[in-house]
Amino acid sequence: MSSHGESFATLPVAPKPALRRFHQARWDEEMIFELSRPGRRGIGVPAPDAPLVELPEGVGRATPPALPELSQNQVVRHYLRLSQETLGADLNIDVGQGTCTMKYSPKVNDTFVRDPRIAELHPLQPEDTVQGVLEIYWRLEQILEEISGMTRVSLQPGAGSAAIYANLAMIRAYHASRGEGGQRDQVVTTMFSHPSNAACAKVAGYEVITLMPDADGYPDIEALRAAVGPRTAALLITNPEDTGIFNPRIREFVELVHAAGGLACYDQANANGILGITRARDAGFDLCHFNLHKTFSTPHACGGPAAGACGVSEALVPFLPGPVVDRDGESYTLSSPASPVGKIRPFLGVTPNVVRAYAWVMALGADGLREVAETAVLNNNYLLHKVLQIPGASVPWPDKRRVEQVRYSWQELAEETGVHSEEIGIRAGDFGVHYWTSHHPYVVPEPFTLEPTESYSREDLDEYAAILAQVATEARQDPEFVRNAPYNQTVHRIDPTSLDDPAQWSPTWRAYCRKHRR
């Protein structure tokens, strides 16, 4: 290095190398609670002229809330620093979290959510004061009914998995209403359906039967035949599955389940490849769900609050969770039907995300939604083409067309170099991108799952593929170098045990203090 440092300091600016010289930011920032100092404030509020009103007994709190006390610039600095210490959807080419569908959320939609008419709503306001937001709910429900072909949609669930759970609650109530609640205690799903389906079924008390892929990569229809019977409550299935392969015999699957007296439930959490192209009801499904954050451009929100939508056929409308929004002429009303399902969460739904999703859909229109799907499929097949040019990368069932995502394999590279998919992902992080393998168990060996959605440009996809190609080359030339990555991150390896250990995990500051600061 010369006395004036790297070439950044000299003019003209040197040409950029093919791959980004990324380095993760490290601010070594404390928790915001640790930054707190008694009495520190963002705004000096003038003392009131009027005398203070005495609150009735029992309304005021005995001790003030334990909120951090900070100055304005501290707050701004704190959150800007944290925003740099991530690889979030607005920082990286976020195509590496296939099945979770990271897409860009237009910032204009956040301005609607910040509008006081939304931001200051209270869930217990009288109906006649919230007609506008009820209309947004009602309209988005109508739109999702059109997209899915279903008779009625509920936007109450607070997330995608909550929507799957709501569907299971409806399935259980439906069978109970026919006197078969006790008998139908099994749910069938597939190995490449999103594992939230199996998880929610278990939470709802069902026995779970999983179908493996057949020789062509489709869920094994012979296995389905063996699985269904008088104990079948429902089939919960994703299509296209996590492999990106669309099951063309999906109607036969539905018919087999119907013939056994079960219901068919379509996991459309990620509908990016099929918007305006196929509809759940047209394939005979009785229920479906969407994750608004996977398909309709609302934030993932790191475990909540996201937003989910349940769609049902005519026969299941009486089982929808409440409250539901109805239109009476020009006015909108809330009613809680006598559904045995009751509520899935308190109040109406996650309103900010419903508003964002509505704004996103309205900006695109019907043709725009179909274009989203077509662009997502095109992007995916372009990326597939690029990745398959990397020696050592492959796709299982290569003769099958992919829709909106692909589960790839580094098996060949791993056999040649001993470098595993997880290690490739960590090294890819050195170039400022995120990368994910697959749910467990690894049915595809040495898996990685890419889903480019409609958000990314050709240059973005070229850059992502070039990073993978670079890491694969490094694995061949110097496997140890890749295994010892990362080099441009601030933490070498994270010990994940705290994520799985209830004695350690700390989703709140209060929990952290209780478990770790005694």
CB of 211 to other proteins, least distance (A): 6
Euclidean distance between CA atoms 333 and 77, whole angstroms: 44
Binds other proteins (CB under 8 A): choice among 122, 440, 517, 518:
440
Q: Supply 455's token pair.
A: 């958000």
212 binds other proteins (CB under 8 A): yes
Quick one: how far is CA 8 from the chain centroid?
39
CB of 218 to other proteins, least distance (A): 12
227 binds other proteins (CB under 8 A): yes
222 binds other proteins (CB under 8 A): yes
Phi/psi at 356 (5° precision) = -60, -45
Binds other proteins (CB under 8 A): choice among 226, 315, 511, 513:
226
**CB environment 100-127: b (16+ within 10 A), e (fewer):** bbbbebeeebeebbeeeebeebeeeeee
Binding mask 159-198 for other proteins (x = CB under 8 A): --------------------------------x------x
236 binds other proteins (CB under 8 A): no
Number of residues that bind other proteins (CB under 8 A): 24
Nearer residue to other proteins within complex by CB, 226 or 366 = 226
Which of these segments, 211-219, 296-304, 354-362, 467-475, binds other proteins (CB under 8 A)?
Answer: 211-219
Nearer residue to other proteins within complex by CB, 160 or 213 = 213
Angle at 295 (CA atoms; ends 290, 297), nearest 5 degrees: 120
Nearer residue to other proteins within complex by CB, 209 or 264 = 209
210 binds other proteins (CB under 8 A): yes
CB of 215 to other proteins, least distance (A): 7
Which of these segments, 23-31, 223-231, 301-309, 316-324, binds other proteins (CB under 8 A)?
Answer: 223-231
Which of these segments, 166-174, 199-207, 269-277, 318-326, binds other proteins (CB under 8 A)?
Answer: 199-207
Q: Using CA atoms in the order 308, 312, 318, 319, what is the torsion angle rounded to 10 degrees?
A: -50
Binds other proteins (CB under 8 A): choice among 206, 285, 290, 436:
206
211 binds other proteins (CB under 8 A): yes
According to DSSP, the residues that pair with 479 across neighbouring strands are none
Euclidean distance between CA atoms 473 and 391, whole angstroms: 9
Nearer residue to other proteins within complex by CB, 209 or 433 = 209
CB of 440 to other proteins, least distance (A): 7
H-run or E-run covering 295: helix 292-295
Euclidean distance between CA atoms 24 and 429, whole angstroms: 9
Nearer residue to other proteins within complex by CB, 261 or 445 = 445
Binds other proteins (CB under 8 A): choice among 46, 56, 441, 496:
441
- C-alpha Rg value of the chain to the nearest Å: 26
Which of these segments, 106-114, 164-172, 209-217, 421-429, binds other proteins (CB under 8 A)?
Answer: 209-217
Residue owning tokens 């989203």: 372
Cβ burial, residue 215 (10 Å; 0-12/13-18/19+): exposed
Binds other proteins (CB under 8 A): choice among 213, 262, 273, 392:
213
Which of these segments, 146-154, 427-435, 437-445, 468-476, binds other proteins (CB under 8 A)?
Answer: 437-445
Binding mask 443-482 for other proteins (x = CB under 8 A): x-x-------------------------------------
Selection from 268, 312, 321, 264 nearest residue 291 by Cα: 268
Binds other proteins (CB under 8 A): choice among 21, 37, 117, 225:
225
**CB environment 174-211: b (16+ within 10 A), e (fewer):** bbeeeebeeebebbbbbbbbbbbbbebbeebebeebbb
Cβ-contact 276, 308 below 8 angstroms: no
Which of these segments, 92-100, 102-110, 118-126, 203-211, binds other proteins (CB under 8 A)?
Answer: 203-211
In sequence order, what are the residues at sequence separation of 6 or more whose Cβ sits closer than 8 angstroms to the Cβ of residue 213? 190, 191, 192, 219, 220, 243, 443
209 binds other proteins (CB under 8 A): yes
Euclidean distance between CA atoms 360 and 374, whole angstroms: 17
202 binds other proteins (CB under 8 A): yes
H-run or E-run covering 497: helix 497-500
Residues that bind other proteins (CB under 8 A): 191, 198, 202, 206-213, 215, 220, 222-227, 440-443, 445
